[in-house]
Amino acid sequence: MKSIYRLIAVSAALLLIVPAASADWSDNFDSYALGSGLIGQGGWDGWGGAAAADAFVTDVQSYSAPHSLESLPTTDIVQEFTETTGEWVMTAWCYIPTGSTGKQYFIMLNTYSSPSGPYNWSVQVEYDSDGGTVTDSYSSSVATMIYDQWVEIRAEIYLDLNTYDLYYNDVFMASNAWQSTGVNEIAALDIFSDGGSTIFWDDCDLVQTAVALEQTTWGHIKTLMQ
């Protein structure tokens, strides 16, 4: 009888463990005041500490209501990390309106030291509204840009193997080395506009993989690496 109770107790404990395995970092921008700048909130900073590189909280579009990040032509904001081992998934959702112009970027770095470096890039995805393309800068793999809807960009990162797989709209784009002249670490996420017109980002998270399915803090279910 005691062994049955023990089994029930263990099973209950395991059920409690799974929901606790939420994102190690996530931001859906809903807790910030509408119209406020992101720099100084939730760990966000301008590239190299530049105040002019800010992005803003908006309700014009949102993947998880009510807010998202509004990336302006001058935006270049950074979220820093300190991950050095294991398997990780970085996910973000992007909305690009029809009529957008110029280029915006989704970037991850393995080395980031503000304000003057050193810096070393691992992921660089170019959103070119003029050309209607989404390009992985390191493999030159190109996808057709999807307008007027929320589209996922996802990097599945294997630090111990020094590699990552990149997906746009859940379609495989490329497998690249995480670094060749840097380190096997996740140092920063950079949302950067190279003068591109306003686009939107939402529901960004960095999750260390442990189970096949993970629920984000705002309720979306996604499949992770096995």
**In the chain, where the domains are located:** 23-223
Alpha helices in 21-119 (DSSP H): none
Q: Give the side-chain half-sphere CA count within 13 A for 141.
A: 16
Token pair for 165: 């797989």
Instruction: Note the pTM of the prediction, 2 decimals.
Output: 0.85
Per-residue pLDDT of the chain (226 residues; tens, 9 = 90+): 434 333 333 333 333 333 333 348 999 999 999 999 999 999 999 999 999 999 999 999 999 999 999 999 999 999 999 999 999 999 999 999 999 999 999 999 999 999 999 999 999 999 999 999 999 999 999 999 999 999 999 999 999 999 999 999 999 999 999 999 999 999 999 999 999 999 999 999 999 996 434 445 555 445 444 4
Token pair for 150: 């929320």
What is the CATH architecture assignment of 23-223? Answer: Sandwich (2.60)
Q: Give the side-chain half-sphere CA count within 13 A for 77.
A: 23
